[in-house]
């Protein structure tokens, strides 16, 4: 009996070690794959705060929570199964879908730059913010739905990049890694968004401190600095998000073309990076990254610029005509 019990305990210990190794493998693969999507994650965190602008302070965190839940639902219920199905039945389509997503990122980034330089669209936010101050629930629902729709596109790109970065493995291992990335990125992005949207309230609270002495003055000064600095932070986030979209989108397109045998752009970029690295031996890694990022950004700007008239005069009118051509009810 004792020998059997010892053997059973040995089997349990082996299973526990195997499970722990599997968990470590999942965590490691999730971390490596998640870093590949860093540019899209930055853009997601930079874009989301604008959907909370105009609401009462007590509604900000609930709205962020609604968007986060919608994002997690999109990733786990729709995008994760879709990614696994692609991996199993149509792995050849992953690169093409990645490139479509990359082209979309380039378009969004270029459109933001174009809109800044040549304002050409009417923003509905200024017109509907009055409804938010009156507690218009319909307005809040529309804003949340719009944020979740935008997040769906960015989340799809995140999941596709993650899937493409995974090594060959079992179905369940890939599913576990995708799930960990989905939950981790969603928690990280919307945790940062919550901190951003509540930073001004925290600054006001600090600025209103009644503490006396040097400590009180320091606290109030810190609060005033936070309140004054948040508009600058939000503008910087918007700039970083736009740059990330163009850089990541261009990089995806360049690597996708290379996989299809069109390696000229990737070869030129590699040669330029090598030349810059040898010219700057003390900062070779940084210089290599800068050259590669610059080349990706130039590709992204060109593609995004070409996508603006294509979207404005062909894709958008076609989409509107299809969605409006609904059959009338009897």
pLDDT surpassing 50 at residue 20: no
Which residue did the predictor score with more confidence, 190 or 119? 190
Dihedral angle of Cα 289, 295, 296, 297, to the nearest 10 degrees:
100
> Stretch 248-260: mean pLDDT, rounded?
90
**What does pTM read for this prediction?**
0.74
pLDDT at residue 301 is higher than 90: yes
Residue with tokens 């389509």: 93
Phi-psi region of 261 (alpha: psi -120 to 50; beta: other; left: phi over 0): left
**What integer is the mean pLDDT of 257-265?**
91
pLDDT at 28 over 70: no
Task: Choose from 43-57, 80-94, 201-215, 278-292 the range with maximum mean pLDDT.
Answer: 80-94
Which pair of structure tokens corresponds to residue 323?
Answer: 């969605």
pLDDT at 37 over 70: no
- Report the largest interatomic distance among the alpha carbons of the chain, rounded to a whole angstrom: 83
Rounded to an integer, the average pLDDT of 61-66 is 92
Residue 305, sorted as left (phi over 0), alpha (psi -120 to 50) or beta, turns out to be alpha
CA-closest candidate to residue 180, choices 305, 291, 46, 31: 31
- Could you tell me how far CA 112 lies from the centroid of its own chain? 16
What are the tens digits of pLDDT across the range 111-160? 989 988 887 654 444 444 444 444 578 888 888 988 888 788 788 878 88
Are 80 and 182 in contact by the 8 Å Cβ rule? The answer is yes
In the numeric block, the tokens 């690597």 are attached to 255
**pLDDT confidence of residue 19:** 40
Average of per-residue pLDDT across 202-212: 84
Sign of the Cα torsion 196, 198, 201, 206 reads: negative
């Amino acid at each position: 009996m004792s020998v059997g019990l010892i053997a059973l305990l040995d089997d349990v210990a082996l299973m526990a070690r195997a499970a722990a190794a599997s968990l470590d493998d999942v965590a490691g693969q999730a971390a490596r794959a998640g870093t590949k999507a860093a540019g899209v994650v930055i853009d997601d965190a930079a874009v989301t705060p604008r959907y909370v602008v105009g609401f009462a302070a007590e509604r900000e965190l609930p709205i962020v929570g609604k968007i986060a839940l919608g994002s997690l639902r999109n990733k786990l219920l729709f995008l994760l199964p879709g990614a696994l199905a692609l991996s199993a039945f149509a792995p050849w389509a992953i690169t093409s879908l990645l490139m479509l997503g990359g082209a979309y990122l380039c378009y969004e980034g270029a459109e933001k730059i174009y809109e800044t330089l040549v304002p050409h669209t009417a923003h509905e936010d200024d017109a509907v913010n009055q409804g938010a101050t009156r507690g218009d629930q319909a307005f809040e629902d529309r804003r949340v739905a719009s944020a979740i729709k935008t997040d769906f596109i960015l989340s799809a790109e995140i999941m596709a990049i993650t899937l493409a970065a995974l090594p060959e493995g079992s179905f369940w291992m890939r599913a576990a890694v995708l799930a960990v990335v989905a939950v981790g990125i969603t928690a990280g992005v919307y945790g940062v968004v919550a901190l951003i949207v509540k930073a001004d309230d925290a600054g006001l609270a600090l600025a209103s401190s009644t503490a006396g002495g040097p400590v009180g003055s320091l606290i109030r000064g810190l609060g005033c600095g936070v309140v004054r600095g948040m508009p600058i932070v939000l503008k910087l986030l918007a700039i970083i998000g736009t740059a990330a979209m163009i850089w990541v989108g261009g990089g995806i397109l360049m690597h996708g073309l290379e996989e299809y045998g069109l390696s000229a752009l990737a070869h030129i970029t590699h040669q330029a990076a090598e030349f810059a690295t040898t010219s700057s031996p003390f900062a070779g890694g940084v210089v290599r990254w800068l050259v590669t990022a610059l080349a990706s950004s130039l590709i992204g700007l060109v593609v995004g610029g070409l996508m603006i008239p294509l979207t404005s005069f062909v894709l958008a009118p076609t989409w509107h005509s299809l969605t409006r051509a609904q059959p009338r009810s009897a």
